[in-house]
Amino acid sequence: MVSKKSYFISLVSTALISASILSGCGGGMNEKRDANEQDDKDSDVKMIDEYTGPPVELLFLDANTGITEEKFEEHFVKPVKAKHPTISLKLLKVTSPAKDDIEALIAAGTIPDIVADSNTGLNKYLDIDYAEDLNPMIKKFNVDLTRFEPAIVETLQGLGRKKGIYGLPFGMNYGSLLYNKDIFDKFGVRYPDDVITWDTFIELTNKLTRKDGEVQYIGSAAPTPVNWLRQYGASNFDEKDEKAVLTDDKHKYVYSLQEKLFHIPGFINGNIWRPTNMAGGTIAMQAGWIMATTNLVSAGPPFDWDLSAYPVFKENPNYGNSVDFPMLIVSKASKHKEAAYRVLMTMISDEVQQRLNKSGQITALKDQSLKMTYAQDSQIYNGKNLQAIFKVSPAPLPDYSRWKSATDTFINAVAQEMALQKKDMNTALREQEERANKAMQELK
């Protein structure tokens, strides 16, 4: 019996192959150079840089990067049009997965030329054979990968299959610790140092979780268990044996920290085991992404605030939150790959990276001086301890595995059972590991 997933992959493959056949005789770029004329390097670079093909409109799907119509026009359409006047971009948005995510679009015969998604979302594009290997493009355009954050390059090389690179970053996310200075002052607790451990984070949470009159203050909004495990380098599966791994020492250590938070009186409020409403003014700290912090503080929170680096594990004091970045993926079935490549080259250029960084999207480039201009246009970080977040590096992610999605689903369930059902940690881990193994079997 053919599984639903196998049937869909077959359907997608047919659609992609059909598109490739249709594009085989047209839509390419007239490079205006003989392949044997490689000696004149300057001339080659100039001709590669220019798009000389016919006018084209590329379909651009934002799957999970939060690109608004305004941002798309300002940071994608305008710079691409300025560089390549005959290339136009049309934005597609995922508003309903069943209606307009990549699988639904392909099944309907609409194949985006470019997709913007997080690095953690690349797996699905590999699973359906959508993504083009960009290694030939990287070689052709002399893309210098050493310009990017090392953790990004390492992740790009580890995400692919057969040593392929299936996307290029146009920004990155960074971990941060946002804290409410008013709550610290109210209870006479010293502000966090630039870099603190998770042990210190839990100690501060304990000190700041208290009730004052009718107001319940909560010491922290901790990250999801998935993020904690990624930062600690705990893989949820054994690739060789094709089994889920949730009961090893690394998982037990991470969940023991989570358990300490749950045992703090007042931390769990009803069915809320992971507080998140920092904007409400009753949560003292939030360990999360700087992009989320930027959105929150841009709205003008009703409290005085500042920043520290994303907390670290004492065993790995140099690593903050796991590496996370939005990337551009080109369809292997696109009729307009040469135009799509020019879009990627435009987005990773120094000029566009500088503009994105100042507007509130941290650059993917490793230039620390450039990073310090982050969100400069809005001036929301003027006088704030922004430089602290860059005192730790993004934690590397494990290499690609098709088992990732099958096991991640069960990670939060462990914490939820521990918090709300008071289930023993070892029991919760064992039971969810068993469920994860069943899910993996269904994917085989």
Tens-place pLDDT, residues 419-439: 999 999 999 999 999 999 998
Average pLDDT value for residue range 280-293? 95
Query: Do 43 and 153 reside in the same domain of the chain?
Result: yes
Q: Write the Ramachandran bin of 86: left for phi over 0, alpha for psi from -120 to 50, otherwise beta.
A: alpha
161 and 287 share a domain? no
- Considering the chain, what percentage of its residues have pLDDT values greater than 70? 87
Q: How confident is the model at residue 238 (pLDDT cuts 50, 70, 90)?
A: confident
216 found inside a domain: yes
Q: Alpha-carbon distance 213 to 210, whole Å? A: 10
Q: Which of 89-103, 187-201, 308-322 has the lowest mean pLDDT?
A: 89-103
Is the pLDDT at 377 greater than 70, yes or no?
yes
- Read off the pLDDT of each residue in 383-411 and give the average, rounded to a whole number: 84
Residues 286, 315, single domain; the answer is yes
Residue 389 forms part of a structural domain: no
Residues 263 and 366 in one domain: no
Tally of CA atoms within 13 A in the half-sphere of 40 that contains its CB = 10
3-state secondary structure 202-214: HHHHHHHCEEECC
Looking at the structure, tell me whether residues 333 and 225 fall in a common domain.
no
Higher pLDDT, 298 or 38: 298
Structural domain count of the chain: 2
Alpha-carbon distance 85 to 87, whole Å?
6
pLDDT digits (tens, 9 = 90+) for 208-229: 999 999 999 999 998 889 899 9
Question: Looking at residue 64, what is its pLDDT?
Answer: 85
For residue 439, what are its two tokens? 């899910």
- Cα separation, 404 vs 406, whole angstroms: 5
For the ranges 120-124, 154-158, 159-163, the lowest mean pLDDT is seen at: 159-163
Q: Would 388 be classed as within a structural domain?
A: no
Query: Mind listing the pLDDT tens digit for each residue in 335-353?
Result: 999 999 999 999 999 999 9
- Residue 183 in any domain: the answer is yes
What mean pLDDT comes out for the span 295-317? 94
Shared domain for 180 and 165, answered yes or no, is: no
The pLDDT of residue 48 is 56
* Same-domain pairing of 222 and 256: yes
Looking at per-residue pLDDT, the higher value among 52 and 176 belongs to: 176
Please give the radius of gyration of the chain, using alpha carbons only, rounded to the nearest integer.
24
Question: For 180-205, what is the mean pLDDT?
Answer: 98
In a domain, 139, yes or no: yes
Residues 414 and 363 both lie in one domain = no
User: Measured between alpha carbons, how far is 390 from 371 in angstroms, rounded to an integer?
Assistant: 8
Residue-wise pLDDT for 11-20, tens only, equals 445 445 444 4
What confidence score (pLDDT) does residue 82 get? 95
The DSSP output letter for 29 is: -
Position 162 scores a pLDDT of 67
Structure confidence at residue 336 (pLDDT): 97
213 and 297 fall within a common domain:
yes
Q: Do 66 and 73 form a contact (C-beta atoms < 8 A)?
A: no
Look at residue 287 and tell me if it is in a domain.
yes
Q: Residue 214, Cβ neighbours under 10 Å: how many?
A: 5
Q: How confident is the model at residue 108 (pLDDT cuts 50, 70, 90)?
A: confident
Say if 155 falls within a structural domain: yes
Distance CA(443)–CA(137), nearest Å, equals 33
Domain-embedded: residue 392 = no
Q: Is the distance from CB of 27 to CB of 333 less than 8 angstroms?
A: no
335 shares a domain with 214: no
**Residues 360 and 431 reside in one and the same domain:** no
**CA atoms of 296 and 315, how far apart (whole Å):** 31
Residue numbers of the domain that contains 152 = 4-172+324-377
Q: What is the pLDDT of residues 32-74, one digit of tens each?
A: 444 444 444 443 334 457 898 999 999 999 998 989 999 999 9
Are residues 314 and 328 both part of a single domain? no
CATH number of domain containing 160: 3.40.190.10
Average pLDDT over residues 329-338: 97
